[in-house]
Chain A
Amino acid sequence: MLIEVQSLNIQYGNKKVLENINLTVSSGEIVTIVGPNGSGKTTLFKAIIGSAPIASGKIIMSPSLKVGYVPQVLNVDLSLPLTAERFLNLVTNRNDRGALRAKQILGSEDYLSTQISNLSGGQLQRVLLARALLNDPDILLLDEATRGLDQPGSAAFYKKIEELRESSGCAVLMISHDLHVVMSASNRVICLNGHICCQGEPLSVASSPEYRDLFGSNIDGTFALYQHNQKENKSRINNSNA
């Protein structure tokens, strides 16, 4: 067990944001949190990294757990000059294994001297992921990491995450909006809306009434579409690699 959340409650003022959350992430698992806007996904993440005030409940992390966090955005003010390379060197507990993984993710080093604000969406994505890998984490936390990527782009990204899990054995806990892409890449899906509506294997969650209530009745079509799309995406990616 890497992370165990026990009856977690969080409220801002009088507004209950998260109610009675229980969840666990074991090593090597890919767990995805889905939910509508304002369902508390990001708050749950903040609680896990220790930046949201907990009203009651517990979050137990396994001792000496190494966490790699990939944020949604970076607020690089236009007044702040910052190269990708300098960003990668900001406060990390790097180790050799992690540095090697980061290097693999970065690929070409041509863009490291580029200002962060001038990176393309895909390059920024790689830089953020590479930074999270520098300490060779036991668990990766991805907060809507594919925002700003197109569908083939996010499919390729999730493929990379899966490869990473295979090669390093690190667990992945992620928030995602790409329902159809995410489903195939996860071992477990947690459907959140202030409380946990349902959780389990992707297919069983997708067919549960709670999930349909949240995401509408046309999910069937989307889900079918996704599997179809997924293959299409893969072949497209393979083609572009060839």
Chain B
Amino acid sequence: MLDDFMVRATLAGIGVAIAAAPLGCFVVWRRMAYFGEATAHAALLGISLSLMFEFSVFAGALFVSLIMATLVTFGQGRSLFLDTLLGVAGHTSMAAGLIIVSYISGVRIELMAYLIGDILAVSKTDVLLIWLGLGAVLLLLFWRWSALLLCTLNEDLAAASGLNPKRENFILTIALAVVVAVGIKVVGVLLIIALLIIPAASSRFLGSTPEKMAVFASLIGVASAILGFNASYVFDTPTGPSIVCVASLIFLLTLTFSSLTQQFQRKN
């Protein structure tokens, strides 16, 4: 079954979508979208290094994302312009990555695949890595869910309840680094943040609790992956961007639906 590239691609898309959605909820709740984007951009440095020294692209991307995650966690509270520092670190890494790639012959054509993903080229190993990453992220989130929520609401309240907010934040950034690393094959460094925040944003008005919102986000993510994949097949469009566009369409639909029902409720 895994010999069919269509099956592999679908499994890869679904895996990344399921992992990204609940994590994306935290990215939205905590307004970490910019951090996610800077981390994803920085991952390009890891990719270029892995191409140059011929080791796994996944490992390279994961390594650089983890460095970014560590920087942010331990830089928090120390610097007032963390946002700016993130921008500097993220985009410097990306620029350096692009320069390194230009030195490797024959890779320049491949670059597009890492920027917007190349889901049709995923190997069996890639699928395995994606599902391992998915499992790790879901386990991590499931284990720390309530603690992470409390830290999101009020770090002092979390500390008074015996939690260590710094540790919880670090767990979250590690999960984000993993999703960025496994998501690169599917939607690329430029679009992975979209797969995190768009399904989460679409499910905001569908659930009354954080848990329901996360479940709806996963469902919307999976639907976007499947529909986007099929759309790219039918219309012969690049797959990663097609998945993101389908997710955006779903976002528009839920937004319209929820504002209509709100107006309806107000009238009655």
Chain A interfacial positions (CB closer than 8 Å to B):
45-46, 49-51, 67-69, 71, 73-77, 79-83, 86-87, 90-93, 113, 115, 141, 143
Among A81, A83, A93, A141: residue with most chain B CB under 10 A: A81
Assess whether A76 is in contact with B153, with CB atoms less than 8 Å apart: yes
Distance between B113 CB and nearest chain A CB, rounded to angstroms: 32
Assess whether A79 is in contact with B28, with CB atoms less than 8 Å apart: yes
User: Chain B contacts of A86 at CB under 8 A?
Assistant: 209-210
Alpha-carbon gap, A69 to B157, bound state (A): 6
Alpha-carbon gap, A149 to B156, bound state (A): 22
Assess whether B29 is in contact with A51, with CB atoms less than 8 Å apart: no
Assess whether A46 is in contact with B156, with CB atoms less than 8 Å apart: yes
Q: Is the C-beta of B201 less than 8 angstroms from some C-beta in chain A?
A: yes
User: Chain B contacts of A45 at CB under 8 A?
Assistant: 156
Chain B interfacial positions (CB closer than 8 Å to A):
28-31, 146-147, 149-150, 152-163, 165, 200-201, 204, 207-210, 212-213
Nearest CB to that of B166 among chain A residues? A51
Among A45, A83, A87: residue with most chain B CB under 10 A: A87
User: Chain A contacts of B153 at CB under 8 A?
Assistant: 74-76, 82, 87, 90
Alpha-carbon gap, A46 to B154, bound state (A): 12
Cross-interface CB contact of A82 among B30, B31, B155, B210, cutoff 8 Å: B210
Distance between B160 CB and nearest chain A CB, rounded to angstroms: 3
Nearest CB to that of B197 among chain A residues? A79
Distance between A173 CB and nearest chain B CB, rounded to angstroms: 12
Cross-interface CB contact of A91 among B156, B163, B200, cutoff 8 Å: B163
| Chain B, interface SS category | helix
Alpha-carbon gap, A51 to B154, bound state (A): 12
Assess whether A74 is in contact with B30, with CB atoms less than 8 Å apart: no
Assess whether A81 is in contact with B154, with CB atoms less than 8 Å apart: no
User: Chain B contacts of A81 at CB under 8 A?
Assistant: 204, 207-210, 212-213
Assess whether A77 is in contact with B29, with CB atoms less than 8 Å apart: yes
Alpha-carbon gap, A46 to B157, bound state (A): 10
Distance between B223 CB and nearest chain A CB, rounded to angstroms: 20
Distance between B147 CB and nearest chain A CB, rounded to angstroms: 6
Assess whether A79 is in contact with B29, with CB atoms less than 8 Å apart: yes
Alpha-carbon gap, A115 to B208, bound state (A): 8
User: Chain A contacts of B207 at CB under 8 A?
Assistant: 81
Distance between A167 CB and nearest chain B CB, rounded to angstroms: 22
Assess whether B154 is in contact with A75, with CB atoms less than 8 Å apart: yes
Cross-interface CB contact of B159 among A50, A87, A90, A143, cutoff 8 Å: A50
Cross-interface CB contact of A69 among B31, B160, B165, B200, cutoff 8 Å: B160
Distance between B3 CB and nearest chain A CB, rounded to angstroms: 42
Alpha-carbon gap, A93 to B159, bound state (A): 14
Shortest Cβ-Cβ A-B pairs, 6 listed: A69-B160, A51-B159, A49-B160, A80-B29, A79-B28, A91-B146
Distance between B168 CB and nearest chain A CB, rounded to angstroms: 11
Given contacts A49-B159, A86-B210, A115-B208, contact A79 B154 (CB under 8 A): no
Distance between A84 CB and nearest chain B CB, rounded to angstroms: 11
User: Chain A contacts of B204 at CB under 8 A?
Assistant: 79, 81
Alpha-carbon gap, A69 to B163, bound state (A): 13
Nearest CB to that of B204 among chain A residues? A79
Given contacts A82-B210, A83-B209, A91-B147, contact A77 B30 (CB under 8 A): yes
Distance between A53 CB and nearest chain B CB, rounded to angstroms: 9
Given contacts A81-B204, A90-B146, A91-B146, contact A71 B157 (CB under 8 A): yes
Assess whether A90 is in contact with B150, with CB atoms less than 8 Å apart: yes
Distance between A116 CB and nearest chain B CB, rounded to angstroms: 9
User: Chain A contacts of B154 at CB under 8 A?
Assistant: 71, 73-75
Nearest CB to that of A115 among chain B residues? B208
Assess whether A83 is in contact with B29, with CB atoms less than 8 Å apart: no
User: Chain A contacts of B210 at CB under 8 A?
Assistant: 80-82, 86
Nearest CB to that of A42 among chain B residues? B156
Cross-interface CB contact of B160 among A67, A76, A83, A90, cutoff 8 Å: A67
Alpha-carbon gap, A114 to B163, bound state (A): 27
Given contacts A77-B30, A79-B28, A91-B146, contact A49 B209 (CB under 8 A): no
User: Chain B contacts of A113 at CB under 8 A?
Assistant: 208
Alpha-carbon gap, A67 to B159, bound state (A): 11
Alpha-carbon gap, A77 to B201, bound state (A): 12
Alpha-carbon gap, A157 to B126, bound state (A): 59
Nearest CB to that of B201 among chain A residues? A79
Known: A80-B213, A81-B213, A82-B210. 10 other contacts (CB 8 A): A46-B159, A68-B160, A71-B157, A74-B153, A76-B153, A77-B30, A81-B209, A82-B153, A87-B153, A90-B149
